Structure 1
Amino acid sequence: VLAYRKFESRAVKGKTCVEIQFRLDDKIGVTFTNSSVLERQLDTFKDMMPFEASIKKIHNYYTFT
C-alpha cells in the first residue's frame, strides 16, 4: 500500500469512499472501497506507509492482513 485518500462516496450518500494506491508486480494500481474497516486501518497505519499487506474477506467485511 503506497497511499490513500478519502472523499465523499458518489455511490452511497453519506458514506466515505477510500481510494487506495498500491504496487503489485512492479505496477502501480488503484482501487476504491467503502469499507469502514479498511478506512480505519489506513488511518491507524498512515505513518507506516508504504507497507505490505493483502486484503482478505472475513465473513462480511474486508481487512488488511
Structure 2
Amino acid sequence: MKVLDLEHLEAQFGLVIRDKENHDNYALIRFEDLDRVIEYYSSFKKEFKQNSKPNNKKEHSK
C-alpha cells in the first residue's frame, strides 16, 4: 500500500475496525485486501452452514 505523504500528514485508505473502549486498538483493512476478506467470509459462511445443518435422522418414540 502506498502512503499518501502530505508533508506533516499522511493518509492510508481502507476500512478501519477498532475497539470501542480503546481507540488505539485497531486494524486497517486495505481496499486491495477486500477480495481476500470476501473469500474468507464466503468460506466461513459455507462451513458454518455445513456444521449447523440439523440432523436428518428422526428418532421415533414408542
TM over 0.5: no
Higher relative CO (CA 8 A, sep ≥ 6), structure 1 or 2? 1
Q: Which has the higher helix share?
A: 2
Q: TM-score range by the shorter chain?
A: under 0.3
Q: Give TM-score scaled by structure 2 length.
A: 0.26
Q: Give TM-score scaled by structure 1 length.
A: 0.25
